[in-house]
């Protein structure tokens, strides 16, 4: 009898159930704050071609975006021109200058001497050739009429301040030199000035207008005072002893009486009477000079 074969049975190992790890839910990124702030990474929500545009870097809030959009919409259809750069053509630059207010031609600039500017300085500060050069430079640089006018006004004020300062410095220097003459000549100062006045009278040959212009230009110049005093001394040589004496108020009164007794003063032509009247005014000023101011 055959013994039955008994196969051993190996029990399969127990399989532990696979448990999926518990993953905490990820909160969605908050790119837009409740206060309207644009948080870091907000540009990642945009289409790829927009994300890296540098113009978006300046926006910090939703309000900034909205304001920019509204302003852009307002500009649509307005008189807007692009600002040219290094690669722009000459034609683009010319259009830009024109849009900015530059006149059509060089001659179209209307440059005037500022109102109230001293006439005696206008021809020196604003000669025609200088103004023409300014127009050419303004046009080449694309300067508008408004900007050119502003430049002229500011330049005029600067020049006026400089001129007055220079004029004041010259007057101060002259006053110091005249004061030096007074110290040098001492008691003879008035006498020497009188000799200088005599030289002016002789040199102008009775032309009161010529004398007035000469005195106005050089009357306070110490070199001219010294020169005229020396010249007056030459005129006085060989004259009577009292010729160079400083006239007293009575001397001036005698001259006034003589002029008033002249028939031309009352019966002459209008120019003749006017000339005598002007001499009388001058003599009265010499007779009673205004007190010196300090």
Write the pLDDT tens digit of every residue in 237-246.
776 666 566 6
Question: So what's the pLDDT on residue 136?
Answer: 94
CA separation (Å) from 120 to 105, 123, 151? 30, 7, 21
Question: So what's the pLDDT on residue 181?
Answer: 81
Q: What's the rounded Cα separation, in Å, for the pair 115 and 162? A: 18
| pLDDT per residue as tens, the chain (294 positions) | 556 655 555 555 666 666 666 555 656 667 667 777 877 777 778 787 777 877 777 788 888 878 877 776 666 555 566 678 888 888 888 888 888 889 999 999 998 888 888 887 888 888 889 999 999 999 999 999 999 999 999 999 998 888 888 888 878 877 777 788 888 877 777 788 888 888 888 888 888 888 888 888 887 788 888 888 888 888 777 766 665 666 667 777 888 999 999 998 888 898 888 888 888 888 888 767 554 444
Q: What's the rounded Cα separation, in Å, for the pair 271 and 146? A: 51
Q: What's the rounded Cα separation, in Å, for the pair 241 and 245? A: 8
Question: So what's the pLDDT on residue 223?
Answer: 85
Q: What's the rounded Cα separation, in Å, for the pair 184 and 59? A: 80
Question: So what's the pLDDT on residue 58?
Answer: 79
Helices 208-218 and 270-287, axial angle in degrees (round to 10): 40
Question: So what's the pLDDT on residue 137?
Answer: 94
Q: What's the rounded Cα separation, in Å, for the pair 44 and 32? A: 12
Helices (H), the chain: 48-51, 62-75, 90-99, 119-125, 128-140, 145-185, 189-204, 208-218, 222-236, 249-261, 264-267, 270-287
Q: What's the rounded Cα separation, in Å, for the pair 68 and 57? A: 13
Question: So what's the pLDDT on residue 11?
Answer: 56
The first and second tokens of residue 225, run together, are 């005072």
Q: What is the Cβ-side half-sphere exposure of residue 191, based on CA atoms within 13 angstroms?
A: 10
Residues near 8 by beta carbon (within 8 Å), at least 6 away in sequence: none
Question: So what's the pLDDT on residue 105?
Answer: 92
Q: Residue 38: what are its φ and ψ, rounded to 5°?
A: -95, 110
225, exposed or middle or buried, with CB in 10 Å at 0-12, 13-18, 19+?
A: buried
Question: So what's the pLDDT on residue 292?
Answer: 44
What is the distance, to the nearest Å, from the Cα of residue 77 to the centroid of all Cα atoms in its chain? 38
What pLDDT, in 10s, does the model give residues 2-47? Answer: 566 555 555 556 666 666 665 556 566 676 677 778 777 777 787 8
- Nearest residue to 221 (alpha-carbon basis) of 207, 204, 200: 200
Residues near 156 by beta carbon (within 8 Å), at least 6 away in sequence: 113, 114, 117, 125, 126
Q: What's the rounded Cα separation, in Å, for the pair 276 and 127? A: 41
């Amino acid at each position: 009898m055959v013994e039955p074969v008994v196969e051993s049975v190996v029990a399969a190992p127990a399989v532990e159930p696979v448990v999926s790890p518990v993953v905490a839910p990820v909160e969605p990124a908050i790119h837009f704050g409740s206060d309207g702030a644009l948080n870091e990474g907000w540009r990642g929500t945009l289409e790829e071609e927009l994300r890296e545009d540098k113009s978006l870097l300046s926006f910090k809030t939703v309000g900034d975006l909205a304001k920019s959009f509204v302003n852009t919409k307002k500009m649509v259809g307005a008189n807007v021109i692009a600002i040219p750069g290094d690669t722009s053509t000459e034609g683009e630059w010319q259009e830009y200058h024109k849009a900015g207010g530059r006149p059509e031609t060089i001659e179209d600039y209307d440059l005037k001497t500022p109102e109230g500017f001293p006439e005696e300085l206008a021809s020196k500060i604003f000669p025609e050739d200088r103004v023409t050069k300014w127009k050419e430079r303004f046009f080449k640089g694309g300067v508008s009429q408004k900007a050119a006018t502003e430049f002229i006004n500011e330049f005029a004020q600067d020049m006026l301040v400089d001129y007055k300062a220079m004029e004041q410095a010259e007057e101060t220097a002259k006053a110091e030199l005249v004061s030096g003459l007074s110290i040098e000549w001492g008691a003879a100062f008035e006498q020497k000035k009188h000799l200088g006045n005599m030289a002016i009278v002789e040199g102008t040959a009775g032309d009161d207008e010529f004398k007035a212009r000469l005195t106005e230009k050089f009357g306070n110049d110490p070199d001219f005072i010294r020169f005229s005093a020396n010249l007056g001394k030459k005129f006085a040589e060989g004259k009577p002893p009292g010729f160079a004496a400083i006239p007293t108020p009575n001397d001036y009164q005698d001259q006034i009486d003589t002029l008033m007794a002249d028939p031309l003063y009352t019966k002459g032509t209008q120019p003749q009477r006017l000339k005598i009247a002007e001499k009388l005014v001058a003599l009265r000023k010499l007779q009673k000079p205004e007190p010196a101011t300090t």
